[in-house]
Structure 1
Amino acid sequence: MKVIPGIAILVISLISMDLHATSSPYCGELINVHDYIEGDKQFLKIVEQHHFTSNVESLRHGNSGTLGAELSYTLMLFPNHHRALAALGKLSLRDKVLKPTGAKYSVGCFFDRAIRFKPNDALVRMVYGDYLLKAGQTDKATEELGIAIDLEPENPTINYNLGLLYLKQKNYEQAKTYAKKAYELGFPLPGLKNQLKQAGKWDE
């Protein structure tokens, strides 16, 4: 099982929202940026200590500015910072705005930048798919999660999230297929299995 250090489990909510995620026509050049996975770990640690604290990630409050500003600063330096992308998406959905206060760009732009920087980063695609699904853009969410699973077919969290997406669409066979794969790969949460059982679509 492939494990990416420091990535919290990202579980897709089955409650969609009407907030639409759209990318700006221009989302800035990628200058002086660093890879979240393979970049300078000491520099990453410094940035996170000052701008991506536990309070920022949990959307309680910023450290030296607004939540949008803190997340924006982190993502301007590390465009594919998976946890910061996830937090920015949650902030956008919570506050029902595409460009949170203090952010340099819209949420769509930050995902655009992450994908341009690392188009084959499966977790960027997964986090984006999660955000799109919650924003009510199921077709685009399916596309991004499809890319994610093609890039990392043995990732248990991506399989689980795809299972949740297909469950939401009432495509129970596909949901069960991805659920079984996720559990075979060691995914720990029983929520998807339980919901399939409730729908009468699960067999051991």
Structure 2
Amino acid sequence: MNQLLRQPLLVLLLAWAAVPLAGAQKLPPAVRGGEAPNPMCGRIFTNHYGPYDYRTHRSALQIVEDFHFDAKVEAGLRGINGDVGGDINYTLKASPNHHRALISMTRITEKARNDRLPGMEWPMECYFDRAIRFRPDDTVVRVLYAQWLHKRNRTEDGLKHLDVAVTQAGDSGFSHYNIGLMYLELGAAEKARQEAYTALKLDFPRQGLIDALKRAGQWQEPPPAPPPGAASGAASGAASAPVAAASAGA
């Protein structure tokens, strides 16, 4: 089942990572969650450029991508300024939660079967650690990290990050849908089904998660919504009960 899910999910994650957010150019660079140093993965601090939040500073990061993260670097074919690992490393220092750069570095390290390639200042896991310390509320990073952990037989750790991502996804049907796909890949079918229900309630149009649950024999139709006025009627009945009881006592 993992092979069936992985490629569609990766396409969705890349699309998710590419969605620009409004107002990106208006916010200054900032570091949140980077104050506590990690002796293994380095402290996150203000560089000569950045660090910038990938979700809100796309325009500010364009110059970094032009000189360090073009299409060939992203594909892992060659570096612009030396080793490809060095260019992606630079990109992830300028923007620790740069979704596409994290996906790219994950791909090239997995292909090389080496978690630390020339030009990388830290092992691969440190780049996830730094991204989460920089922006703990970034659900894309949590999903990518959960998949990375699962591939290394650390599924329980991955599920913890997905559980956090659910609490941060808010009313984004796209986020709940992607989290659900990853829950299913990690074997948590019940949680995947709940995320599918949430995505449906938020009118997210894609059916891939439901189809995957059906193929796995894990789909159930969502429970019917209560009829309009049922909740208020129940509340009204509860409120009138003491009055009725008081009248009976009188």
TM-score, structure 2 as length reference = 0.63
Asked whether the equivalents of residues 156 and 186 of structure 1 are also in contact (C-alpha less than 8 Å), the reply is: yes
Please point out which of 41, 44, 59 is paired with 1:41.
59
**What is the correspondence of 1:85-164 to structure 2 with a 5 Å cutoff?**
85-164=102-181
Aligned to 1:14: none
- Separation (CA, whole Å) in 2 of partners of 1:169 and 1:156: 20
**Aligned-residue offset at 1:85:** 1.5
Larger Rg: 2
Q: For 1:113, what is the secondary structure of its paired residue?
A: helix
Whether the 8 Å CA contact 2:68–2:81 is kept in 1: the answer is yes
In structure 2, the residue matched to 1:54 is 71
1:161 and 1:117, CA in 2 relative to 1: closer, same or farther beyond 3 A?
same
Asked whether the equivalents of residues 86 and 120 of structure 2 are also in contact (C-alpha less than 8 Å), the reply is yes
- Note if 1:29 corresponds to 2:43: yes
Q: Which region of structure 1 is more displaced relative to structure 2, 50-59 or 66-75?
A: 50-59
Matches within 5 A, 1:53-92: 53-92=70-109
Q: Deviations over 1:125-162 (max 9, x none)?
A: 23222322233321111111111121123333432333
Tell me how far 1:190 sits from its aligned partner: 3.9
Bigger helix fraction = 2
8 Å Cα contact 1:86-1:131 kept in structure 2: no
Partner of 2:16: 9
TM-score in terms of structure 1 length: 0.75
Residue 92 of structure 1 contacts residue 99 of structure 1 at CA under 8 Å; is this kept in 2? yes
Moved over 6 A (4+): none
The residue type paired with residue 195 of structure 2 is Y
121-130 or 81-90: bigger deviation: 121-130
CA distance in 2 between partners of 1:171 and 1:7 (Å) = 23
Q: Which runs of 5+ in 2 are unaligned?
A: 1-12, 18-37, 222-250
How many residues get paired? Answer: 185
Q: Cα gap change, 1:165/1:79 in structure 2, threshold over 3 Å: closer, same or farther?
A: closer
Across the aligned residues of Structure 1 and Structure 2, the Cα RMSD in angstroms comes to 2.7
Q: Is the deviation greater in 55-64 or in 184-193?
A: 184-193
Distance 2:155 2:78 in 1: 30
2:97–2:134 contact (8 Å) kept in structure 1:
yes
Structure 1 alignment gaps of length 5 or more: 1-5, 11-23
Shift of 1:40: 7.8
Equivalent pair of 2:180/2:209 in contact (CA under 8 Å): yes
Counterparts of 1:55 and 1:186 in 2: how far apart (Å)?
37
Quote the offset at 1:188 in angstroms: 5.6
Distance across 1 between alignment mates of 2:141 and 2:176:
15
SS at 2:64 equivalent: helix
8 Å contact from structure 2 (residues 143, 182) kept in 1: no
Range that drifts further, 95-104 or 46-55 = 95-104
Query: Cα deviations across residues 91-124 of structure 1 (Å, max 9, x unaligned)?
Result: 2222221112321111111122222222233332
